[in-house]
């Protein structure tokens, strides 16, 4: 299977390095063009109809996200290739869209391409991911949605509708406002990293809660009462951090 690809990056050296790595490690990827800005990228996409684009975010003038917004429907997959940026990184992770951090490692590139090959024919889910990304990119304060994948379904939900997350080895139970619970193949640490900037606090080895859903805190028993009427324990070593976090919601 040959996958047509474009590399979009304003740095010529970065484009060449990625091209060399793709040619060496990913034989199924056929790079049909390169672009250094959004305008030339848009023209190449219309000309070549690629299966995937490797897209840098920070470029002079319009950035990589602006390119996405030019398409009502995106008929290609995207792998973001970017230096670490807090806002962009969070938006991408919450939307479950694939990314590579610069400098790109061969191992991560191979992983991303393997994942791409598995998803080539999965259109409906990818549309949801990109729509969620677009929604989360309007302004920094508008990041409000997260993609959660269970074994059978992709769920797009509002972050503020998540009440709490509970660890289950390498899985996490995500409890929603509507009473439903989703079992997601991510660790609680993954959720802490993703949701920490949005009012979530790790109060126990097994529990991450949405501070906006806290009703009361029972000091004597170190127990939090949530809007779902659930009681969740606060560990002694996290109690001070939790109380400080409550002051800033």
CATH of the domain at 232: 2.40.50.1020
Output the CA torsion 98→2→154→192 (10° steps): -20
**Looking at the 3D structure of the chain, how many domains does it have?**
2
Provide the domain limits for residue 229.
Answer: 150-246
Full-prediction pTM beyond 0.85? no
Pairing of strands 171-176, 162-168: antiparallel
What is the rounded CA–CA span in Å between residue 10 and residue 121? 30
For residue 63, tell me if it sits in a domain: yes
* Residue 80 structure tokens: 């973001």
Stated length of the chain: 249
* Residue 28 structure tokens: 């199924």
State yes or no: pLDDT of 131 exceeds 90: no
State yes or no: pLDDT of 85 exceeds 80: no
Which pLDDT value is given to residue 128?
81
Indicate whether 11 and 113 sit together in one domain.
Answer: yes
Indicate whether 65 and 181 sit together in one domain.
Answer: no
- Out of 136, 163, 194, pick the residue that ends a domain: 136
Burial of 30 (0-12, 13-18, 19+ CB in 10 A): middle
State yes or no: pLDDT of 15 exceeds 90: yes
Place 90 in a pLDDT band, splitting at 50, 70 and 90: confident
CATH of the domain at 71: 3.40.50.2300
Indicate whether 189 and 229 sit together in one domain.
Answer: yes
State yes or no: pLDDT of 79 exceeds 80: yes
Indicate whether 98 and 166 sit together in one domain.
Answer: no
Indicate whether 98 and 126 sit together in one domain.
Answer: yes
For residue 126, tell me if it sits in a domain: yes
Indicate whether 103 and 175 sit together in one domain.
Answer: no
State yes or no: pLDDT of 175 exceeds 80: yes
For residue 141, tell me if it sits in a domain: no
Tens digits of residue pLDDT in 25-60: 999 999 999 999 999 999 999 999 999 999 998 888
Which pLDDT value is given to residue 135?
77
State the residue for tokens 């305008």: 39
Indicate whether 48 and 86 sit together in one domain.
Answer: yes
C-alpha angle with apex 6: 75 to 109, nearest 5 degrees? 100
For residue 145, tell me if it sits in a domain: no
Pairing of strands 99-101, 52-55: unpaired
For residue 190, tell me if it sits in a domain: yes
State yes or no: pLDDT of 235 exceeds 60: yes
């Amino acid at each position: 299977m040959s996958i047509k690809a474009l590399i979009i990056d304003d740095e010529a050296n970065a484009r060449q390095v990625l091209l060399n790595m793709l040619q060496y490690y990913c034989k199924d990827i056929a790079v049909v063009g390169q672009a250094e800005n959004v305008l030339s990228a848009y023209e190449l996409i219309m000309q070549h109809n690629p299966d995937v684009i490797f897209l840098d975010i920070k470029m002079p003038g319009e950035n990589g996200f602006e390119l996405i917004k030019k398409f009502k429907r995106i008929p290609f997959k995207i792998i973001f290739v970017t230096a670490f940026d807090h806002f962009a990184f969070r938006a991408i992770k919450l939307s479950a869209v694939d990314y590579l951090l610069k400098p790109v490692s061969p191992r991560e590139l191979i992983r991303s391409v393997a994942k791409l090959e598995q998803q080539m024919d999965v259109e409906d889910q990818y549309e949801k991911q990109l729509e969620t990304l677009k929604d989360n990119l309007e302004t920094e304060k508008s990041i409000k949605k997260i993609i959660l994948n269970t074994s059978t379904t992709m769920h797009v939900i509002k972050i503020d509708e998540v009440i709490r997350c509970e660890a289950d080895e390498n899985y996490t139970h995500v409890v929603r406002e509507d009473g439903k619970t989703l079992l997601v193949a991510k660790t609680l640490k993954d959720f802490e990293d993703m949701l920490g900037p949005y009012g979530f606090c790790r109060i126990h080895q097994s529990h991450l809660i949405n501070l906006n859903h806290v009703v009361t805190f029972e000091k004597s028993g170190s127990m939090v009462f949530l809007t779902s009427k659930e009681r969740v324990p606060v560990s002694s070593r996290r109690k001070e951090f939790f109380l400080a976090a409550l002051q800033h919601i």
